[in-house]
Structure 1
C-alpha cells in the first residue's frame, strides 16, 4: 500500500412562524437557470433540496479518525534535502560553511531535538507535530494580515442575463454558501477524497461500502480501493470564525450557534439573521429583501470606519480593540466576531481590468473590509466576485472546496434572478446597522492607519502574463510534468534577470495526513539551474540536449513534489526542530544562525497554483519586499500567471518578459520533431 500511496501523492433571529406571517410559506418560486431560456419551478424551502448543497452518503468526518499521521522525517534525510536545496543558491564558499554547520547539527544536538520532537508527537496522537507550531507561527506574527497573509480567489464572471447584478449575485452566493454551511454542520458534506482511478472508486458502490465501514478503519478501506481521504479538521473553523487581535499573540474565536451574516457597504457594517431558530435557512425572497435593503441604503460612506484597524500591525490593532471595548463597543464587536462570514459590496467597476481587479480583491481601500474574518466575499458594482481569506485557520483544501461547491451550486440552481421579487417584508426591522463609539484617540488611530495602509498598498504593482504558449496536453504528450515546466519558466526568468537562482517556494498540501497543513516544494534545483545556464548561452545546445535537460527538471520536480506531499520535505521539520531549540533556552545551533538559513527562508519567488476549474484567477503579495508573488494556472492548451512586486526592488514586467522568452524556448523544444 505504501508505494501506491506515494505514487498517488506525487500527482497530486427569525422564527418559522414569522416567515409565514410575512407571507413566506413553505413553498416558493425558485429560479432554475439552464443554458437556454430561464424557467422557474416551485420548491419547498423546508426541503432537503433547498436546505442542503447535497447530502453525502458518507458522513463528513467519517474518515477523520483513521487518517494516517503526518510522519516526522529522518534527521539524516532532512539534512541531505536541506543541503541539496542550499547548493543551488549558495556560493561554493557559503555552501562549505553551511555543510559544516549541518554536519555539526546532525552529529550534535540534532538527534536530541529529534528525540524530543518524536516524544511530543507520541504524546499527541490526535494531531500532527506541525499543527501547533504552525498555528503559533501565524497567530504570533505581528505584521498586518493584508498583503502579508490574506490571498484571494476569483469566481468566473456571471454571463447569464441579469445574474451579474450585485444584489442578485450576492443573494445567490449567500444562499449557496448557507447550503454549504448547513451541509457541513450536519456532517453530510461529501468528504474530500482524492481518487486515483475515479472510474473505479468515485462510485455509489464505494460510498456505500465506506459508509458502513467503521470510522476506525475507514481510511484504510479507502486506500485499498486507491481512494485517499483528506483531512477535514480545518473545515470547522470556516464559519462563524474570526481572528481576534491580542498583544503578543492573536486567538481564533468561533461561535457555531450564531445565526447572522455580516455585510459591509461604504465602511458600514450590517447584520441580519439567515437561519431561523431551528437552524433552517430562510427563504431566498427573505434573504433577497435584506440584501436589497442594505445595497440600497443611502447613508453616506462612513467618515471613519474601524475596518481599517484590521489592516494594522497586530499589536497596534490589539491596543485599539482594547480601547474600543473600554469605550462600550464590546457587544457590537461580538456581533462582528460571530457572524457566519462577511460579504462586501464594493463600489468599484472593474470591467476587464485585471490589474484593478487584483488590487480590489487583494486589499481594496481598507475602509470596507474586515480582513480578520475567516473569509469575505467581495462583490463589485459590476457584479464581479472573489473570496479573500484569513490564513491562520486553514489552507487551500478547505477554501477551494467551499469555493468550488458554491460556484457549482450557483451555476446549477441560482435562487433568484432578475425577475425575482424580494419578500414583502419591512427589512429595516430585520437588518441592523452596527454603530461604534469612537474616542478622539481612536479617531486619530484610524487616520494614522489609513496613511500607513495607503503607503503600503500603493507600493504594490501587478503584471500579467497573457495566456498562451502551451498547456497540459503538450506537456503530457512529452511525458513531462506541467507544473515542473511552469516552475522552470520562473527559474529561467529570474536567471535571465539576475544570472543566478534564488530561494523559491511552492506550496504543497499535506492534507493526506491528520491535521496536515502545508509543506514547501523547493523548485530551484541543480537541474533547473543547468537548464537556465544552457538557454542563457550565446549558442544554446541542440533541441535534443535541451529536451534531455527538461526531462531531468521534470523528474526532479516530481520527486520533490512526492517528498513534500508525503510529509518528507525539510522545511516544516527544521521549523519544528528550531522551535524546540528556542524553547530550550540553550544557545541556538549554528545551522539556524547561519546566514544561509536566513537566505533560504527569504523567499524571493513565492508561488502558488489554482487547482480548481471554478477559479478564474487569484493572487497574493510578495512575502518579502524584494520578491515576487506568482499566482499561476495551466489549462489543457494554455498557461498564464500574475506577478506582484514592490518596485523598485523588483521589476515584475521584465520578469514576465523573461518568462515569456523561457516559455517560448520550452514550447519550441516540445514541438520540435
Structure 2
C-alpha cells in the first residue's frame, strides 16, 4: 500500500518589551556571520511586528452559542431527547448563562493581554492526568529527500539539526517571516508591502496589513517550540522553557546523550563536528542498555510525577539536561516501509527511544525516514507545521552535508556527553510496570490508510466545492454507511487570527450532511441532479461553520469557558449535566488535517475508546487519510472502505453518472 499524507507559552506582549528585545536582536543580527549559514530566513519585517496589534478573540453572544449548540445536537438526538435538551438550553440562556456570561466578559476585560480561552485551555491539557502517548501527542512524517543519498540516517540527522538551528536563529533574532494569511497575495505578499509595513508602528501594523486583505497570525506559541518541556506534577503539570539552551538530546538504543549544536552568538557548530558526534553515538556500546526510563514519560501524569520526584534526588542534573534540550533527536534502528509501520514508529515507538514530555521530538530511522512528534499543551498545528515546512525545504534546498563527508570523520574528536541515571529500586519497579502498560496500550491500536488518485483539490475547486467539506462529508457518509447513525464529530480549526488564539471545534455532522448521506443511500430514489445539490448544500454549510469557527464564532470554546467559570463557583448548570452534552462531546470521529507538500503522512490516536482518529490530506491530485482505532468493536478497515466507496460515489455524481451504491 502506498504511503499517504494527512494530516504555550502565552506571554504578555508590551511594546516596551518588543523594543528591548528587538534592539538586542538587531545587535546580534548585525554582528553575525553569513546569513545563509546562520538563518533560515532574513525577513525585513520583524517576526513579532504584528503581535501587539492583533485583534482579541471575541466572546460570542450567549444566544448565538445556544443556537449553534442546539443545531449540533439535532443531528445525534431523537426528537424526544432533543426537546428535553432544548428546554435545558432555554433555561440556561435565560438564567445561569446570563450570569456566567457577565463574569466571563468581566474577566476578559481585565485580561486584555490575552484571549479568554488561552489560560483555561492550556490548564485543561496540564490538568489532564492521562498519559500523553495516544491521548494527546500527534506525529507528522517528512517526505524523503529527493536526493536519495541524503536519506542516509546520519546525513539526514545532521541536516535536520542544522536547518532547525537556522530556524531558531531566525526566530531569536526576529528575522523569521511573520506568519500571515494572504487573502490577496498579489497585493500583500510582495516586497513593496513588506518595505512599507515594517515602518508602521507595531501598535498599528495589523490594521495596515488588513487594508490589503492580509491577516497576520498569532505567533506567541513559537516561544515554546524549542527548549521547552512539560514537567509532571501532582494535580497539574507545568511548562518550562530554557531560553539559553544550546544543546540537543540524542537518544539511541534507549541511551541518552547531550550534544552542543549552537554557540552563544548563534553560530551553528560545524556540520563535520555534528556528524562525528552522531556517528560516535551510534557506535557507542560501552555500556549495556539502560532500563527503558523513557517509559516513565508514557505513564499517567501522577504516577510519573511521583517517580520523577524520587528520580530527582540522585539525578537532578541529568533531568535538567533533558528538560533544557532544544529538542530530542531519536536515532531509531527500525526501517518502516508501510503506513502502519510509519505510524507506529512516529506516534509512539517502542517506549525506549523517546521522551514524551519534550515539546518537540525529531525521529530519524535507519532508512532515513524522518518524523516529528510533539507534546500538545504548549501549542497547536500552525506553529508546528511552520517549523516543519521551513526545515523540510531548507534541508532539501540547502543541505549542510552529504554522505561523502562521512568517510573523512575522525571519531577521536567526538565531544558528546553520555547521561547515566542512578535509578532507585522503587523507580525500577515503576519503569517496569510503565513499559508493560505502554506495550499493552500501543499494541491495541489498529490502523488503515487510504489514498485516492481519482481526484483532488484541483478537480473540486473547478466544481466549486470545498475540498475540506467534501472530505468531511465522506467521513460522515462512511460512518453512516457502516453504522447507520451519526455521532459526535470534531474537526480542529485554528483561531490564530487572534491574539493568543488556540483552536475552535467545527462540528462536521450537520443537517446538511445528514440529508446528503441519506440521499446517497441505496434505498433512496434521489436523482443525480438532486444528489449534486445535496453535495453543494453540504459544502456551503461546511464553509460557513469553518468561517465562523476561524473568526471565534463557534460554540464549543465558549461553552468550555462558561463551564470553567461555573466549576470555580461549585455550581454546575444542568445543561452540562444533561446526558446529551456528554454524548455530543463523546467524540467518535476526531479529525484533523495538516496538508502540505512536505508531509508524507500524519496521525493521532482516537480520543475515546470506541472512536476513530482520522488524519487526512488534500493534495492537488489526490485525497487520503490515516485512520486509527483501538480495535473491536470498532472496525477501522470497514470504516475506511466505506469512506472509499463514498468518495467514489460522490465522484460519479459530480461527473453526472449513475453509481452502484455498495453500502450495506
Task: Give the TM interval when normalised to the shorter protein.
Answer: over 0.9
1:299 Cα deviation (Å)? 4.3
- Of 291, 303, 308, which aligns to 1:304? 291
**Correspondence list, 1:360-509, <5 A:** 360-421=345-406, 430-509=415-494
**Correspondence list, 1:254-333, <5 A:** 254-299=241-286, 302-326=289-313, 328-333=314-319
Distance 2:373 2:132 in 1: 11
Q: Deviations over 1:547-581 (max 9, x none)?
A: 11001100110110010000000000000000000
Instruction: Check conservation: 1:378, 1:387, Cα contact below 8 A.
Output: yes
**1:244 maps to which residue?**
231
Instruction: Check conservation: 2:276, 2:414, Cα contact below 8 A.
Output: no
**2:33 maps to which residue?**
46
**1:669 maps to which residue?**
653
Distance 1:379 1:457 in 2: 20
**1:180 maps to which residue?**
167
Instruction: Check conservation: 1:166, 1:381, Cα contact below 8 A.
Output: yes
**Correspondence list, 1:224-239, <5 A:** 224-239=211-226
**1:19 maps to which residue?**
none
Instruction: Check conservation: 2:606, 2:629, Cα contact below 8 A.
Output: yes
1:637 Cα deviation (Å)? 1.8
Distance 2:181 2:606 in 1: 30
1:422 Cα deviation (Å)? 7.8
Between 375-384 and 472-481, the greater mean CA deviation after superposition: 472-481
Residues 178 and 591 of structure 1: is their aligned pair in 2 closer, same or farther, counting only changes over 3 Å?
A: same
**1:623 maps to which residue?**
607
Residue-pair matches, total: 627
1:301 Cα deviation (Å)? 5.7
Instruction: Check conservation: 2:292, 2:435, Cα contact below 8 A.
Output: no
**2:560 maps to which residue?**
575
- Of 591, 595, 598, which aligns to 1:611? 595
Query: Structure 2: 5+ residue runs without aligned partners?
Result: 1-30, 658-664
**2:323 maps to which residue?**
337
Between 126-135 and 525-534, the greater mean CA deviation after superposition: 525-534
**2:4 maps to which residue?**
none
Between 418-427 and 523-532, the greater mean CA deviation after superposition: 418-427
1:469 Cα deviation (Å)? 3.2
Distance 2:414 2:508 in 1: 56
Does residue 1:347 correspond to 2:333, yes or no? Answer: yes
Between 532-541 and 520-529, the greater mean CA deviation after superposition: 532-541
1:146 Cα deviation (Å)? 0.5
TM-score, normalization by structure 2: 0.93
Distance 1:172 1:301 in 2: 29
TM-score, normalization by structure 1: 0.91
1:467 Cα deviation (Å)? 2.5
- Of 119, 131, 134, which aligns to 1:132? 119
Residues 322 and 669 of structure 1: is their aligned pair in 2 closer, same or farther, counting only changes over 3 Å?
A: same
**2:68 maps to which residue?**
81
Distance 2:538 2:159 in 1: 45
1:594 Cα deviation (Å)? 0.4
Residues 303 and 421 of structure 1: is their aligned pair in 2 closer, same or farther, counting only changes over 3 Å?
A: closer
**1:7 maps to which residue?**
none
Query: In structure 1, the residue corresponding to 2:371 is in which secondary structure?
Result: strand
Residues 438 and 613 of structure 1: is their aligned pair in 2 closer, same or farther, counting only changes over 3 Å?
A: same
**1:3 maps to which residue?**
none
Does residue 1:594 correspond to 2:578, yes or no? Answer: yes
1:428 Cα deviation (Å)? 6.2
Distance 2:282 2:43 in 1: 35
1:295 Cα deviation (Å)? 2.1
Instruction: Check conservation: 2:32, 2:265, Cα contact below 8 A.
Output: no
